[in-house]
Amino acid sequence: MKPTFEITAEPRGQTYIDLLNFAASRCSSFSLVWAFNFEQSTYDIKHALKPFLLSNKKTNEWPGTKLIGHEALVRRYKVADESVKLLHAAGGLYAWLQPKLPEDLAFYTSDNAVWLASISHEGQAWLIDETLKPAEVYAYVPKIKIRSIVNSQW
């Protein structure tokens, strides 16, 4: 499915928290990517999220990314009040960067469709939901910067 809205400026602070809450209201799971070298903070978040772990998958592909010659561990977690609150610690959508944290936060609907995808190190993110209207996004996340890409050549 093609992206519906591109997020044009990093959601940080309250805007990031609003985005997380919006995603949690629409999604049942989220994923983080564990690739190479990590600092203690990465292991801390891994331990804190462990009760919400749904799956571990070693793969070269996840929303927005396809690696050639390398694999990473994509861990999928259950959306719950506590698991989403743990995501607040990053402070911004693109703060999910190794070695301090895992990368590329993504959210999934109950039918496993990607709803939010991000590539942290490139500062890119998308909402993928053809039912969304800009007014609804702004109602949940008033200060988010988005651009409609429904009719563009993605």
pLDDT score recorded for residue 81: 98
- The residue among 19, 119, 25 whose CA lies nearest residue 65 is 119
- Specify the residue for token string 């109950």: 110
CB burial string 79-117: b at 16+ within 10 A, e below: beeebbeebeebeebbebebeebbbbbbbbeeeeebbbb
Question: Mean pLDDT per segment of 10 residues, for the chain of length 154 residues?
Answer: 88 98 98 84 92 94 81 94 97 94 96 96 94 94 91 46
How far apart, in whole angstroms, are the C-alpha atoms of residue 81 and residue 86? Answer: 9
- Specify the residue for token string 């609150």: 85
pTM for the whole structure: 0.92
pLDDT score recorded for residue 11: 98
What are the backbone angles phi and psi of residue 123, rounded to the nearest 5°? 60, 45
pLDDT score recorded for residue 61: 81
- Specify the residue for token string 């940080």: 12
